[in-house]
Structure 1
Amino acid sequence: MNNNHPNFSEKELMNDLLASEKQVTSAYNTGITESSCTNLRQQLTQCLNETQEIQYQLFNAMQQRGWYATKQAQSQDVQSAKTKYQQMKNELK
């Protein structure tokens, strides 16, 4: 058998999987917001939660291997973001 497929590294494969999970999550979000059927919304929400868990597991595995570097947020930045989004939420009420 002729194998003309490139050999991908574990890092490349995991990065591709992570990108795919992000796209699937986005698709589920769109489906949920555009669905008027309660049963469908519940099913899509369950699928979304499962996909987010898979995405987190991939992210965590990549981060542990040093393949996905993140920086720690300063506590003041976290508080600022909380305040900002709480204000936005209150304005929508």
Structure 2
Amino acid sequence: MNIQTPTIGEQDIVYSFLADLKRSAREYTTAVTESNCPEVRQVFEQLLQSTLKMQDQTYQLMSQQGWYNTSSPVLSAEINKQINTYTQTQTQTNQILQQNVGI
């Protein structure tokens, strides 16, 4: 009896790796924001940066191979609108923090 085992293709392996990198980046981001020890925070920041670099390299590989479909192009005006909205929110948040916490 010849039983064939299913094989996982190269594309599936790389896609799984990319998904793990994305998950790791989220976890490291949470760790950075919750660390109150500067040394520990620095380690998590370094891990996050390393993970983001690997994620970019993996994405570039997948894109070159045609394995990753990007979203449709967004109008530049819409991107600028979102950036302005987030910048205003950040400014307002900083003002509130300065008034209440003295940061």
Decide: shared fold, TM above 0.5: yes
The corresponding residue for 1:79 is 80
Q: Partner residue of 2:11?
A: 11
Tell me what 1:36 maps to.
36
CA–CA distance in structure 2, aligned partners of residues 45 and 5 of structure 1: 41
Aligned to 2:49: 49
* Distance in 1, Cα, partners of 2:6 & 2:40: 40
Write out per-residue CA displacement over residues 46-68 of structure 1, whole angstroms, 9 at most, x where no aligned residue.
11000000011111111111111
Structure 2 CA distance for aligned equivalents of residues 37 and 74 of structure 1: 42
Equivalent position of 2:98 in the other structure: none
Rounded Cα–Cα distance in structure 1 between residues aligned with 2:89 and 2:63: 32
Matching of residue 58 in structure 1 with residue 50 in structure 2: no
Secondary structure of 1:6's counterpart equals coil
Q: Which moved more, 1:29-38 or 1:65-74?
A: 65-74
Provide the rounded CA distance (Å) in 2 between the counterparts of 1:91 and 1:6: 55
AA aligned to 2:83 is: K
Residues 5-64 of structure 1 show CA distances to partners (whole Å, capped at 9, x for unaligned) of 631111100100000001111111111111110001011101100000001111111111
More off after superposition, 72-81 vs 31-40: 72-81
Give the structure-2-normalised TM-score.
0.80
Mind listing any 5+ residue stretches in structure 2 that lack a counterpart? 95-103
Cα shift at 1:77: 1.5
Letter in 1 for 2:86: Y
Unpaired segments of 5 or more residues in structure 1? none
Aligned residues: 90
**Bigger RCO of structures 1 and 2 (CA < 8 A, at least 6 apart):** 1
